[in-house]
Structure 1
Amino acid sequence: MLNLELMEKTPRRKQAYQYIQQRILSGDLPAGTQISELMLAKEIGMSRMPIREAIRQLEVEGLVRQVPRFGTIVHSLDRSEMAELYEVREALESHAADSIAGNITSEDKQILSLLCKKILILGRELRDSKEKTFSPELMQKFLAADMGFHMVILRASGNRRMMKIVSDLRVLSRIFTAKREPHDLEIVTSVYRYHRRILRALKRANGEKARYWMREHIRESRRLALESFDRHQAMGDARNALPLALPQDLLEEINQIESGET
């Protein structure tokens, strides 16, 4: 849940938006769930107007949709929509990686190196645990390091609008698909290797290589996401999917991008 002290300092519409967004991210409001303005207003302790405004914003971002004679429900992506999300990510993130090669700061290089190292350490923890897949706790740490790596590159590009778009796409693709399945060592190792190659290209100011490896990385992620989607469609549900709750500090950073607070 949101930090109460933070909520007191936040406008009501934004409070409502962050509250509903977090409930969707955590799995409390899964895809297909009907959203009640009245119930949410009672839960948060505010009038229905800011709730309505928040829902309108979430609808624009694709997290919820209006269904005639039924109301507002949490949106569920179909296969083609998910594929489109990854295609947009591929175009924008590969461009960002190319654009910052030779211009990235020493501080950002250090942060990217630390995030790569964190994924390597998590991979070793998984290997040493003798488990086949991440526990929910380690999965959260992995997602934070993975998403953080991409966010640093986007932030370094200086294009705030592109950062906001990709952030929303990443959240959407993780919420509405079986991408939240536990990751095995093969997937973790693959992510680490792609990140390391991208970072090496950035350090060498090789924009062409940075673009290439980012493109290949996202294409591989797309392949895995679609395979996972198909697998769960065949099963008829997603009961084995892990609930996703992105770290609050990362959510706050994403939410602040559009308002220019960072």
Structure 2
Amino acid sequence: MNSFAGNLTEQVYTTIRNRILRGELRFGTGLSRRVLAEELGVSIVPVGDALQRLESDGLVESRPRVGTRVRIPTARSIRGHYILREALETQAARIFAEKASPEERDEIQRMAHQLDALHVLQIPEDDSGRDRLFEIHRFHMRFHMRIAECTGCDELCQAVEKNQVLIFNWLYDTALGNQPPPAAWHSQLAEVLVSGGPEQADAAMRRHTRYRMEEVLAQMEPYFGWNESHVQTFSKRSRRHGQPQAAAAPAAPEGAE
């Protein structure tokens, strides 16, 4: 793949991913390569490559004779993502506590205070609010990525990035709506990572990554009941009308957006 084609695929990937994570493309929405290519003004090739990457990320899925859609997560896959995130980020926390420089510790504390300040802002219930919330989530991801980067282990950083904190924010918002974490949630975590030893850092990050997991699973339960009839419904409609469409959605979980 040449540089131009690679950059184009990256742009298409980022655009589609952000539309999913912003909630513009909801669970079960059919994704037509042709329609997306027309919307984005590109050929089908970079769209196909981008959708393959999104499938690897766990954001979309493809079915034979059905097509590609925004993935409808299962209870098992959500729990699996939580387990993997816990394993990766507790290890990052342990190494950070052992070897982070004074400058890196100061940086993490500053980022944590800034993130907590962003979470207390009033988010309007409109497109501008959705965009603002997405930017908060992007900063949240940078915070966790920076902890991993301070370990000096490239492989760990890549694994944390692939697991994507953004996806957890997406699931959290879908299940619980725009509910901010407790006050000073990230500042308290940073304080332990900066001042405590590896065991304390591990325990603090473990509590952090497990936060409200069971509540998210409970609120997502209506989505787990989607069956193949919904999948085939969106497939037929999207092909008939030539537009990405969502299958008929179940009643939204209480408190969800």
Output the CA distance in 2 between the equivalents of 1:228 and 1:158: 37
Which of 227, 237, 240 does residue 252 from structure 2 map onto? 237
Residues 161 and 35 from structure 1, CA distance in 2 versus in 1: closer, same or farther, beyond 3 angstroms?
farther
Considering Cα pairs closer than 8 Å and 6+ residues apart, tell me whether 1 or 2 has the greater RCO. 2
Q: Which residue does 1:222 correspond to in 2?
A: 213
Contact 2:89 2:148 in 1 (8 A): yes
Residues 182 and 96 from structure 1, CA distance in 2 versus in 1: closer, same or farther, beyond 3 angstroms?
same
Contact 2:30 2:69 in 1 (8 A): yes
Q: Is residue 201 of structure 1 aligned with residue 196 of structure 2? A: no
Could you report, residue by residue, the CA deviation over 1:143-192 in whole angstroms, capped at 9, with x for unpaired residues? Answer: 345333322111112333433333343233333452461115xx332xx2
Could you report, residue by residue, the CA deviation over 1:80-113 in whole angstroms, capped at 9, with x for unpaired residues? Answer: 2111111111111001100121311233222221
Q: Which runs of 5+ in 2 are unaligned?
A: 124-128, 226-249
Amino acid at match of 2:72: S
Q: Which residue does 1:84 correspond to in 2?
A: 80
Amino acid at match of 1:20: I
Which of 102, 124, 127 does residue 98 from structure 2 map onto? 102
Q: Which runs of 5+ in 1 are unaligned?
A: 1-7, 130-134, 243-262
Q: Is residue 118 of structure 1 aligned with residue 114 of structure 2? A: yes
Normalising by the residue count of structure 1, what TM-score does the alignment of the two structures yield?
A: 0.72
1:232 Cα deviation after fit: 7.5
Q: Is residue 156 of structure 1 aligned with residue 150 of structure 2? A: yes
Contact 1:102 1:203 in 2 (8 A): no
Residues 165 and 71 from structure 1, CA distance in 2 versus in 1: closer, same or farther, beyond 3 angstroms?
same
Residues 109 and 224 from structure 1, CA distance in 2 versus in 1: closer, same or farther, beyond 3 angstroms?
farther
Residues 180 and 163 from structure 1, CA distance in 2 versus in 1: closer, same or farther, beyond 3 angstroms?
farther
Q: Give the RMSD, CA atoms, in angstroms.
A: 3.2
Contact 1:139 1:183 in 2 (8 A): no
Amino acid at match of 1:225: V
1:36 Cα deviation after fit: 0.8
Output the CA distance in 1 between the equivalents of 2:11 and 2:135: 25
Q: Which residue does 1:19 correspond to in 2?
A: 15
Contact 2:73 2:224 in 1 (8 A): no
Q: Which residue does 1:51 correspond to in 2?
A: 47
1:205 Cα deviation after fit: 5.2
Q: Which residue does 1:246 correspond to in 2?
A: none
Q: Tell me how many residue pairs correspond in the alignment.
A: 224
Amino acid at match of 1:211: D
Output the CA distance in 1 between the equivalents of 2:56 and 2:120: 40
Q: Which residue does 1:175 correspond to in 2?
A: 170
Could you report, residue by residue, the CA deviation over 1:218-254 in whole angstroms, capped at 9, with x for unpaired residues? Answer: 1224234224324887973259644xxxxxxxxxxxx
Between the two proteins, what is the percent identity of the paired residues? Answer: 25
Output the CA distance in 1 between the equivalents of 2:95 and 2:77: 27
Q: Which moved more, 1:116-125 or 1:228-237?
A: 228-237
Q: Superposition pairs for residues 122-141 of structure 1, below 5 Å?
A: 122=118, 136=130, 139-140=133-134
1:10 Cα deviation after fit: 6.5
Residues 211 and 142 from structure 1, CA distance in 2 versus in 1: closer, same or farther, beyond 3 angstroms?
same
Q: Which moved more, 1:203-212 or 1:160-169?
A: 160-169
